[in-house]
Amino acid sequence: MTTQTAVAAPARTLEIDRSHSEVAFQVRHLLSKVRGRFTDFAGTIEFDQSNPQNSRLDVAIKAASIDTAEGDRDKHLRSADFFETDKYPTLTFVSTAVTLRSGDTYDVAGNLTIHGVTRPVVLPASFLGAAQDPWGNTRFVFEAELTLNRKDFGLSWNAALETGGFLVGDEVKVFLSIQAK
């Protein structure tokens, strides 16, 4: 039986459980949206619910693990036109500050590195709670969503369309669903 706790827990160092977490994205392609995910990532969360300013997040994502369910597109995304995974194998996020926004929502400021370009971003994150799994382990669940401009990270490849506009949108929506233990 899983029970959710509402009591603030002491500061904890948590490992992201990849098998129960997701790093996904969505970008416009022509008029539709293409969705994908990264399947190989790891990270730690130092979570202090009582003193959020003491919390930290450190995540590394293997760029070559990109998966859009289309092999040719994934190969193109790994190429020099996009992620250039041979040269830049890892995407990273390292927090610099965590601020309580309200209730169980936080602004996690940090440095995001993609394609060798590091930029400051603020990740709006929600703590959904802690629950005990059937084996007695306490799991902490977080979600976050943000929109990035891919060109800010040197991912500028595109193709002009005969009807006007471009093949790939600049805005990329990123969705994180993280379970940590």
Residue 131: which pLDDT band, with cuts at 50, 70 and 90? very high
Which pLDDT value is given to residue 3? 45
Q: Domain holding 45: CATH number?
A: 2.40.128.110
Task: Measure the CA–CA gap between 100 and 11, rounded to whole angstroms.
Answer: 15
The whole-angstrom distance between residue 137's C-alpha and the CA centroid of its chain comes to 24
Which pLDDT value is given to residue 5? 46
Task: Measure the CA–CA gap between 51 and 54, rounded to whole angstroms.
Answer: 6
Domain range for 149: 4-180
State the total domains in the chain. 1
Question: Over the stretch 22-31, which tens digit does the pLDDT of each residue have?
Answer: 999 998 876 6
Task: Measure the CA–CA gap between 26 and 17, rounded to whole angstroms.
Answer: 22
Tell me, what amino acid is at 105?
Answer: T
16-25 average pLDDT score: 97
Query: Which contiguous run of DSSP H or E holds residue 78?
Result: helix 71-78
Tell me, what amino acid is at 87?
Answer: K
Question: Over the stretch 141-166, which tens digit does the pLDDT of each residue have?
Answer: 999 999 999 999 988 876 666 776 66
CB 122 within 8 A of CB 108: yes
Tell me phi and psi for residue 78, to 5 degrees.
-80, -15
pTM for the full predicted model:
0.88
Q: Report the share of the chain in percent with pLDDT over 90.
A: 78
Tell me, what amino acid is at 98?
Answer: V
